[in-house]
A and B are shown apart, each in its own frame.
Chain A
Amino acid sequence: MNEKLTNNIEQDDDAIARKLSQVAEQTHANGQFAAELEQKLRGAHQPKAGWFTTFTQISPTLRWVALMIFLALVLSWSIKSLIPAPQPAAENTPISPDISTPTPGEDPLNPTPAPGEGFYFRGAKLFMNAPLPDSPEQTNIYQVIEAQPATAEYAQSLAQQFGITGDVYLAQGQLPGSSAYMVTDGKQQLVVHGENNYTYTSDMVENNRSYNGIQHENAETIIREFLQSHGFSTNVKMVESGVFGGYTLQQLAPDNLPIEYENYAQPSVRITLTENGEVLGMTVILANYDPNGLGSFGIISAYEAMQILLDDNISAGKMETGHSGPDQNFVPPQIWYHEHADNESVTIYGNISSSKAVDEGIPTIVFIDAVQAVGNTNGMETLDYYTFIETTGQFIVENGVRKFNVESWNRDVQNASIFGGVRREGDQIIVNDQNNGSNTDYILVDPPADLPSEVNFPESAVTVNGAVVDGKLHWTIIDYFADASNMGGGGGGGGGGMGFYQLNLSGKPIPFPTATPAQSGTEYTAAELASFIRYTVQDGDTLGSIASAYNVSMSELNRVNNLSADNVIGVGWVLIIPGVTGPNRLDGEEGTMQVQIFEKPDGRLREAYTFISKKDQIYYQVKGENSTQLQDVANRPIKIWGTISYDEMGSAWLTFEKFESLYPDLQFEVLTGIQENTVVNGADVVLFTTEGTTYIQMISSGGYPDYSTYDDMGEIRLEVLQIPGETYAGYPTLRVFNSGLAVDPSTGQEMQLHRVTEKIEIVPDPYGNQDEYVPPDVTIERVELVYLTNHPAYRDSNNPEAPAGQSYIQPAWHFEGHYSNGDVVDILVQALKQEYLSPELSPYPGPG
């Protein structure tokens, strides 16, 4: 009888496993989403070389090219002409009083708690470090207008504004079927994607090397002067640039409220400056809308918005975007760019990008890493975007612009990307590549004079980009990280999340549904639930018979086990019996000890011990005096004595008193053999045959068969423990700890198996410096009323059929701050009063 039940349980699990696999395999992301995310990532990618060229030149193989980290599709400003710039703020009378100077809230129910106190928020505290601003009772709503696509004429006229004298070239647009235009004189470059969606640089080479530009005391003055003198609007507000360096000027609406996107971005003009306070780069992406607005609409106060923010039971009408802050400890690397003298024959390496001219009489323009190539460039224009080449020629200066005059070129050269250390050998500098343990030395040709001659990997590191020719490394860019543990990263985020309601501008309020009451009954904590005994349903049992056997109510049994209303139970089902607790001790229980050691960022170590009981495979976290002794029996079968308790997460704890190693002399070993997947007694197993004996592989605790297998890949090595007398379905068993191929299929070389049982591997602690996961506190540093509009990339992807007319610019309360772990908090609360909202959520991730 028991055997039958066991088989039923296994079959059920198998069937569930199959169902999971099946559902998983059917699940695919929406194709358009995937494509647009790829586009966004390309735009955000910042290679050391060719960043600018990434969004200027395209190859036939790339279907579209992105602009920047906060990529937008085209939304153009409604200003009809940019020469000279009209002032929208002057054209439109603000509808609401100017609210750009927030004053402390005068709400008599002022919620700001005393300093040091905070609001309860997600298991931690939220501190308001900013006053709640006073606000108007109404704001406007604006209608978004579809932007005009780019034309060569528009590009030409913009180029004139910037003072670029050059031809217009074709660039691929940000979306399939769209096109962009590029104007360049070999040094300056303008790429236009659409009305009010373009990027300019005054110096392509410098711009590539200086993504963030230089900080300047008088930046704002310099920038506003530049905008004004070049005929651009100045109805913008300078904001912090965050992840992007340089300067960001946010677009303002006619009533001077800033316009924002939902995912930590805004329509803006982004500018980088040179050392001399000149504009190095300018990227314009502005929202396009009808400045006349749709009227006056009531909004909630900042206080009401804060209540909505704090209440996690309210999930709609707000959006949160979070992202991790930039790595505070990041020290940027020292970087060398290989320079060459002018008018000397040199051989250089780099990536090609080329663009066809709009005017067919004008030749295709070719760049090698942002330097225009002239001379014998025949054939270069047909190369795929970013092809790596070797070329010989001379740098020359033509009309004040530096170019490369090509004598010859070839593409029989591999772009090498080296990562490792440096040492000196005699008068040579050797770079040692440690990429995937390759451990290859290269002589560095023409090393920079001030490159450290000893870089000890892995404490420090260099990355070298270049070409390996005849075993020697010809470098183009070298990064040197004095502290290689700190190579940057962090940042990243975006993704607005949905949550705003659709607008109801009909004039007739729509009723919102009220919440349904929760199911009633004794609320057991997770710990209590974990401590209750389980009962396996037998043939002939009913819910009633089980309930009376244990003296619990049927309704409780039903509720705790999530049964259906008709109380149906099946044979073999394992029910939790509420209110009846299980054993609170283990006495000589057999099982396996597992040990993990974590290293915290501050260097402290944290050990975690887990005991897995053999007979029912229950997982106990182990504590007790002298728990370090347990490290001696890591991965080994033992008997253990101790008391059981449960924590509030429902995890079982064993406070151990003593333990005994069952086979103290038994060794872990590596065996080599052949695997075979088969079914034994209805269960999937892996058979392992070595030296004439066939075993069944078991998981490392011995509880059940091991399922991981290499399909027909020849000889396999296993790291195992063979327990005397342990069998499964008549086969001797091996407890498997690690597995790997015996031979590297690509080289034919024998491979050693990385041993995991010889010593306990120390891994980074996922809890960081905490002892457990502690939700971080939140501090709100800024509260502001803004206008929110759809990020254009999301808008189109979510509903390509929706006419642009459905997208609105609507008011929202913007709360900004930080988590105590440095991550940024960014929450938007829909500000329109409920009478202007529909209970249906917006189909767009953002407002609309």
Chain B
Amino acid sequence: MTTLMATQTKEQDETDLAQQAIRDVEAFAKLYRRHMTRVYRYHIAHVGNVKDAEDLTSQTFMAALEGIRSFRGTGSFAAWILGIASKKRLMYFRSSRPEVPLEDAAHYPSPGLPTDKAATQRLQLESVSRALRHISAERAEAIILTYFSGLSNIEAARVLNKTEAAVKMLISRGLQDLRERTSLALEVEL
């Protein structure tokens, strides 16, 4: 269930911030802090490893910084920056990356979590990311935008340049594909 929280005022607030961010580094920093996690989650859900996700996140925000003038406030900032994230990913992901095992993420302990739980989380993320690669790219994208980056269907529709209905369809079919074509269902506790 996606929840649209006071979308109008949040959007206004972010348009203000984005305008200020053209000149004011603090405003940009605020936007960064608000949206970094959703951008990072977007990338890591796609690429499945920390290093690429970090590189892509960095690229996405650098591009957002360059292009901040062109954010006109028509629509949500989240949708805008995930649009950038998606372009960055498409550019970056044309050569196959080695699948660096998430064991390397041992360098990044999750703050405050016991090691075995952190390991479980990594493995889950890895399996989800792999599973998403078994379904069509569009469906995976719709799922990632909504489940990982927390966009509403309308916002995701903006990013994908589709209607909201199409997004819901993609998500629904994507979930179905995940169930049919991957072993993700077997790992789910019913």
Contacts and interface: CB of A to CB of B under 8 A. Distances in A.
Nearest to A617: B169
Interface stretch (A29-37, A229-237, A543-551, A660-668): A29-37
B19 A488 contact: no
Given A38-B33, A417-B20, A495-B59, A19 B184 contact: yes
A737 B168 CA distance: 12
A716 B52 CA distance: 41
Contacts of B40: 27-29, 34
Given A435-B19, A594-B163, A709-B1, A494 B33 contact: no
B52 A497 contact: yes
A492 B64 contact: yes
Given A312-B95, A320-B95, A699-B165, A37 B36 contact: yes
Nearest to A384: B26
Contact of A16 (B4, B6, B188): B188
B116 interface: no
Nearest to B20: A417
Contact of B19 (A27, A33, A417): A417
A573 B19 contact: no
Given A29-B57, A707-B153, A16 B178 contact: yes
Interface in B150-165: 150, 152-154, 161-165
Given A23-B128, A41-B65, A463-B22, A495 B55 contact: yes
A9 B62 contact: no
A379 interface: no
B165 A592 contact: yes
Contacts of B20: 415, 417
Contact of A845 (B8, B22, B55): B55
Contacts of A47: 22-25
B19 A823 contact: no
Interface string A467-511: 000000000000000000001111111111111000000000000
A562 B182 contact: yes
Nearest to A487: B69
Interface string A589-616: 0001010101000000000001010000
Nearest to A433: B19
Interface in A669-727: 677, 684, 699-701, 703-704, 706-711, 713
Contacts of B28: 41-42, 45
A57 B134 CA distance: 51
B67 A49 contact: no
Contacts of B154: 708, 738
Contacts of A31: 111
Given A16-B188, A17-B147, A435-B16, A491 B3 contact: no
A29 B165 contact: no
Contacts of A574: 176, 180
Interface string A1-45: 000000001011101111111111011111111100110111011
B165 A744 contact: no
Contacts of B15: 435-436
Interface string B72-103: 01000000000000000001101111101000
B23 A44 contact: no
A763 interface: yes
Interface string B1-42: 111111111011001100110111110110011001100110
A41 B67 contact: no
B125 A699 contact: no
A498 B32 contact: no
A492 B51 contact: no
The winner among A495, A775, A843 for most chain B CB atoms within 10 A is A495
B115 interface: no
Contacts of A218: none
B69 A594 contact: no
Contacts of A316: 98
The winner among B33, B45, B179, B190 for most chain A CB atoms within 10 A is B179
A313 interface: yes
A811 interface: no
B59 A493 contact: yes
Contact of B134 (A40, A417, A562, A710): A562
A316 B100 CA distance: 10
A460 to B, nearest CB: 14
A704 B134 contact: no
B37 to A, nearest CB: 6
B166 A619 contact: yes
Given A489-B66, A741-B8, A766 B161 contact: yes
Contacts of B12: 436
A261 to B, nearest CB: 13
Contacts of B29: 38, 41-42
Contacts of A497: 51-52, 55, 92, 97
A16 B179 contact: yes
Interface residues of A, number: 113
A54 B25 CA distance: 8
A498 B107 CA distance: 15
Given A13-B175, A799-B107, A741 B6 contact: yes
Nearest to B84: A492
B39 to A, nearest CB: 9
Contacts of A594: 163, 165-166
Nearest to B183: A564
B92 A322 contact: yes
A492 B67 contact: yes
Given A20-B128, A562-B181, A700-B165, A488 B69 contact: yes
A711 B20 CA distance: 30
A744 B50 CA distance: 40
A557 interface: no
Contacts of A739: 4
A561 interface: yes
A703 B169 contact: yes
A122 interface: yes
A492 to B, nearest CB: 3
Contacts of A561: 180-181
A42 B33 CA distance: 12
Interface in A728-761: 737-741, 744-746, 751
A354 to B, nearest CB: 16
A45 B65 contact: yes
B54 A19 contact: no
A465 interface: yes
A496 to B, nearest CB: 7
A575 interface: yes
A323 B44 CA distance: 20
Contact of B163 (A27, A312, A435, A700): A700
Contacts of B45: 24, 27
A27 B125 contact: yes
Contact of B62 (A33, A494, A499, A799): A494
Contacts of A677: 1
A573 B134 CA distance: 16
A432 B151 CA distance: 32
A739 B56 CA distance: 33
A575 B180 CA distance: 7
A32 B108 CA distance: 9
Nearest to B56: A495
A110 to B, nearest CB: 24
Given A495-B55, A700-B163, 13 more contacts: A13-B172, A16-B179, A19-B124, A20-B128, A23-B121, A23-B125, A27-B125, A48-B22, A463-B22, A492-B65, A497-B92, A699-B168, A744-B9
14 contacts: A37-B57, A38-B33, A44-B62, A487-B69, A490-B66, A495-B54, A497-B97, A498-B97, A684-B1, A700-B163, A708-B154, A709-B4, A711-B3, A744-B8
Interface of B: 1-9, 11-12, 15-16, 19-20, 22-26, 28-29, 32-33, 36-37, 40-41, 44-45, 50-59, 61-70, 73, 91-92, 94-98, 100, 104, 107-108, 110-111, 121, 124-125, 128, 134, 136, 143, 147-148, 150, 152-154, 161-166, 168-169, 172-173, 175-176, 178-185, 187-190
A-B pairs, 3 with minimum CB distance: A492-B63, A489-B67, A495-B55
